[in-house]
Amino acid sequence: MRSRHAAARGISTTIRPVDEKVRRSVAVHAVLQRTLHRVPPRPTLQRVTQSASAAADDAPGGSTAVPAASLNDSEPDWLTSLVEDARLTPKGRTVAHSLASNPRLGAFGSVAEFAEKCDVNAATVIRFAQRLGFKGWSDFQLNFRHRYLASLLQTDAEQNPADRQGSSVFRSAVQRDIENLHATLDSVDPGEFDKIAELIARAPKTLVIGGGTYGLLARVLAHHASYMGYDVRCEAHDGARLVVALSQLDPGDMLVAVNFWQPVRQILDAVEWAREQKIETAVVVDSRFSPLADRADHALIVPSEGIAYFQSLSAGMSLMHALLAKLHELGGERATERIRRGEKLWGKLGVLR
């Protein structure tokens, strides 16, 4: 196509091809418009408990399989996914049925209370958790509780004040955070932690995303990592801003997503898109049953349970601090020099008094 002025000068000009980054932005936008309904439905818990292996793990005369008619056909996918791949015994199926019928007891009750409800012994309940890949009932319950709470409205998930046993709100909130921090020592896989830090350190670019209050964790990681000289950026918004940020990533780059409670659709889609583009993905979630944990290359699990209607970020923030400390270690003298440089700039620009 010749412009009027170019034609007058006898110069031929052509329209430039659409930039690759623009094409990528359009592709990302299309991905983020998909709905979660595109995921094929999982088999119901009824079918899972019927088809699981019948090999016994208890003494003869144990519980028999739960009648199919007593199971609910509308069980949520996340609950079905707990047991669909496990080889459950008859008593294991009884435990699975009780989880479906009494998820709140499974989320908050002691192993003895839950075993009594199932009409099995506590050892059976513990073996059920281990068969699903957990260390024991406590490890299973921590992840199950967070996923159960995420299935409720936040106001429905609020703890009953009577459960605080006379403690003040302040003391109960701090105590819960202390418990979350202790649980984080077990829930975070040290190998995964080191691997994610190394991937961020090696990646040409890293984008950290997180919506709502969880975006605070993304901002902390991106801010301090970039201060050490790493190209780590944060996008805590969805829509057009998320599209633009994602479109800047190339194969070999890194995407880190932070999401607690219910999964955000656009974050789910963003992680899936990144994997399709050969971009390494890692997520920080509050349960192994989070859909994000299955969609990412790497996952770090931190508890987020609070005493009110909102999630606690204390354990998540502690994890961000740990990742930053690891990045500082990996960066060595180069990272230290960048920090020194930044410290001089504070004074040079008169930011601090």
Q: What distance lies between CA 239 and its chain's CA centroid? A: 20
The 10s digit of each residue's pLDDT in 118-160 is 889 999 999 988 888 888 888 888 888 877 776 665 555 555 4
Q: Which residue has the higher pLDDT, 79 or 97?
A: 97
Q: In the structure, what pLDDT confidence band is assigned to residue 85 with cuts at 50, 70 and 90? A: low
**Distance in angstroms (rounded) separating the CA atoms of residues 131 and 225:** 39
Taking 50 as the threshold, does the pLDDT of residue 59 lie above it?
A: no
Taking 80 as the threshold, does the pLDDT of residue 294 lie above it?
A: yes
Q: In the structure, what pLDDT confidence band is assigned to residue 65 with cuts at 50, 70 and 90? A: very low
Strand partners, 233: 207
What does the mean pLDDT of the chain come to? 78
The mean pLDDT value for 38-56 works out to 37
Q: What is the pLDDT of residue 282?
A: 98
Q: What is the pLDDT of residue 144?
A: 84
The 10s digit of each residue's pLDDT in 149-196 is 766 655 555 554 445 566 789 999 999 899 899 989 988 999 999 999
Q: What is the value of pTM for the model shown? A: 0.69
Please, is 124 exposed, middle or buried when counting C-beta atoms within 10 Å of its C-beta (0-12, 13-18, 19+)?
buried
The mean pLDDT value for 237-244 works out to 93
